[in-house]
Structure 1
Amino acid sequence: MTSILTNVAAMSALQTLRTIGNDMETTQGRVSTGLRVGVAADNAAYWSIATTMRSDNLALSAVQDALGLGASKVDTAYAAMESAIDVVKEIKAKLVTATEEGVDKVKVQEEIDQLQEQLKSIAESASFSGENWVAGGVDTVTTAADVTVVSGFVRDSNNNVSVKTTTYNLNATVPAAAGEDEASLLFGADTDGVIDYEDSGTSGILGTTADNWGLVDFGDDPANPAAAATTVSGMSIYTLDISELENDGMAEALKLVDAGLQAMTSAGAKLGSISTRIELQEDFVNKLSDSISKGIGRLVDADMNEESTRLKALQTQQQLGIQSLSIANSSAEGVLSLFR
């Protein structure tokens, strides 16, 4: 039956054309955004996973920045410790020179004085972003303190998130108190955070006196400091003065400096290990971030080869649909010839 009121062929062609138009709109959206799943309506599960992982990846980016900051702090402290070790080595060499007969100890002490001032300069200058890991802190003369650097961002199997840190102990006590790490500070600080160079005699590796190192031999009367068999009692590496030392005193001074070198070497080794840990973590975080990005891409990214092929096919279908609709509409015009 032919009807001029209801053109079934045209309605069918129009419906097909609408479907093709919707498909084209979807495909064009994928081509323009590069995403197969751009909104929750496309695939709620994949969209939810991708959104969560993108937020985690952003957090990892912040971790990368924090690792860079932490690496700078550690590298600054390590460079300072390494420089201080070199200076103390020079002091040790000067002591060996001063033990020779006929050497003017006063002249040698003048050189040592300059090296001691260099140690102070190194300690004061080793600050990055307001933190000094080789001198200072708050009340580190009496109490060790921990400083941390961000090392990771973790989401566990229960979907709980946490930030992981690496800890470094700032300890100015020599020898270390029970249960605490070995001394790591060249100089400690008082309760106001002011670096204590010599007042307490127990301030860090360079500020601790020979007595507190346990290097002073009090002979038969431990209660009487005046009976000490060494003249370095009350002296630290920073305050060491060999001008009037005799043979026994020079031997004790050498022991004091060598003990300081061992402690500084230990502290430098810890800083070096943390620096290596941070470098490894930076490399891991970079790889982890790339892996997460790849995973997100597999879930939501559009295959551009496939989408471009589909778009071309839909464009062809659309042209054919338009022609079909045109033919369906023109078929009714044949009815007019019956009335002529």
Structure 2
Amino acid sequence: MTSILTNSAAMAALSTLRSINDSMETTQGRVSSGLRVETAADNAAYWSIATTMKSDNKALSTVQDALGLGAAKTDTAYTGLDNAIDVISEIKAKLVAAREPGVDKTKIDKEITELKNQLVSTAQSASFSGENWLYNDTATPLGTKEMVGSFTRSSAGTVSVGVLEFDASTSVLIDTQDSANGQLTKAVAVAQPDGATAATTANATYHLILAAGGTAPTGSILIALTATTADDDIEGMISAVDAMLTSLTDAAATLGATNTRISMQDEFMADLMDVIDKGVGRLVDADMNEESTRLKALQTQQQLGIQSLSIANSNSENILSLFR
């Protein structure tokens, strides 16, 4: 039946054209944004997962920044320790030279004094971002230092921040408030030869530096030379400096291991962020090859739909010819 009031063919063509236009709008949105899941309405589950993982990746990026800051602090402290070890080795060599009969001990003491000044300068300069792990002039002793090292999400959805730790009390060279907390200001007990009795030793304690404003350890002798310094005392000083050198070497080794751990963690964070980005991309990114092909097909369908609608509308015009 042909009716001038109801054009079923035009209605069907119009419905098809609307469906094609809707599909084109969706495809064009994917092509322009590069995403097949852009909002929760597209796919609530995938959108939720992707949003959470993108948020976690931002947290991981912040962890990377924190690791960079931690690496800078450990690098600074290690550089200071490494320099201090070289200087203390030089002091040890000067003391060994002072043990030789006939040398001018007062001249050697002047060299040792300058080397001590260099140690103080090194300790004071080894500061980064307001933190100094080699020099402490506060009433609070340096303790364990924490550096943000990881961000994790458990299977239950709870999140936590992991930290890397370094015991800075082992690396403090000079403590102006409490000499016992500084590797170079504290008293070091050694056994030295006792010239009064053959083949015997005597206990003695020495400290290398007396910090400005600080108090010398009780009963401890400052490592310094005079023209009358006894050979036994020099040997005791050598033993004390060697003990300090051993302690600082251990601290530098621990600090170096911590620095290596930070570097490894930083590389892992970078790889983890890349993997998460890839995983999120698999969930929400659009396949541009597929979308471009679909868009081309929809454009063709749209043209055919418009042509079909035009043909359906022309049927009403054909009825006029029956009345001529």
Q: Same fold (TM over 0.5)?
A: yes
CA contact (8 A) 1:38 1:300 kept: yes
SS across alignment from 1:163: strand
User: Partner residue of 1:34?
Assistant: 34
Question: Residues 234 and 84 from structure 1, CA distance in 2 versus in 1: closer, same or farther, beyond 3 angstroms?
Answer: closer
Residue type of the partner of 2:236?
A: E
- What is the CA distance between 1:245 and its match in structure 2? 1.9
- The residue number in structure 2 matching 1:65 is 65
The share of aligned pairs that are identical, in percent, is 56
Aligned pairs for 1:1-340 within 5 A: 1-136=1-136, 138-139=138-139, 143=141, 145-171=143-169, 183-188=170-175, 195-196=176-177, 200-209=178-187, 213-215=188-190, 229=202, 233=205, 235-236=207-208, 239-243=222-226, 244-340=228-324
Which amino acid letter does the alignment assign opposite residue 206 of structure 1?
L
CA distance in 2, matches of 1:47, 1:203: 55
The one-letter amino acid paired with 1:152 is S
SS in 1 for 2:157: coil
2:5 maps to a residue whose letter is L
Structure 2: any 5+ residue segments left out of the alignment? Answer: 195-200, 211-221
The DSSP-based 3-state class of the residue aligned with 1:13 is helix
The structural deviation recorded for 1:234 is 5.1
- Provide the C-alpha distance between the structure 2 equivalents of 1:63 and 1:306, rounded to a whole number of angstroms: 37
Aligned-residue offset at 1:202: 1.7
C-alpha change, 1:201 and 1:215, in structure 2 (3 Å) is farther
Name the aligned partner's letter for residue 258 of structure 1: D
Q: Residue deviations 1:305-325, cap 9 Å, x none?
A: 000000000000000000000
Show structure 1 runs of 4+ deviating over 2 A: 137-140, 216-219, 232-239
Q: Deviations over 1:217-266 (max 9, x none)?
A: 799xxxxxxxx957x64543564202232111011000010000000000
Cα offsets for 1:151-173 (capped at 9, x unmatched): 000101111101110111122xx
Aligned-partner residue type, residue 64 of structure 1: Q
Residues 237 and 136 (structure 1 numbering): CA distance in 2 closer, same or farther, change over 3 Å? closer
Measured on the aligned residues, the alpha-carbon RMSD in Å equals 1.8
SS of residue in 2 equivalent to 1:269: helix
CA distance in 1 between counterparts of 2:237 and 2:29 reads 79
1:215 alignment partner AA: V
AA at the equivalent of 2:284: V
> Structure 1: which 5+ runs fail to align?
172-182, 189-194, 220-227
Q: Is the 8 A contact 2:193 2:232 kept in 1?
A: no
Instruction: Note if contact 1:237-1:256 (Cα within 8 Å) is conserved in structure 2.
Output: no
* One-letter code aligned to 1:155: R
Counterpart-to-counterpart distance in 1, 2:206 and 2:52: 61
- Is this contact kept in 2: 1:229–1:248, CA < 8 A? no
Partners of 1:137 and 1:12 in 2: CA distance? 87
- Report which of the two has the higher share of strand: 2
Contact 2:146 2:163 in 1 (8 A): yes
Cα contact 2:206–2:237 (8 A) shared by 1: no
Note if contact 1:98-1:108 (Cα within 8 Å) is conserved in structure 2.
yes
Tell me which amino acid in the other structure corresponds to 1:242.
L
Tell me the SS of whatever aligns to 1:37. Answer: coil
Q: Is the 8 A contact 2:149 2:163 kept in 1?
A: yes
Partner SS state of residue 160, structure 2? strand
Distance in 1 (CA, whole Å) between partners of 2:98 and 2:224 is: 12
* 1:215 alignment partner, SS class: strand
Taking the aligned partners of 1:235 and 1:106, their CA distance within structure 2 comes to 19
Question: Which residue type is aligned with residue 298 of structure 1?
Answer: R
SS in 2 for 1:120: helix
In structure 2, the CA distance between the partners of 1:18 and 1:307, relative to structure 1 (3 Å rule), is same
- Preserved CA contact (<8 Å) 1:50 1:296: yes
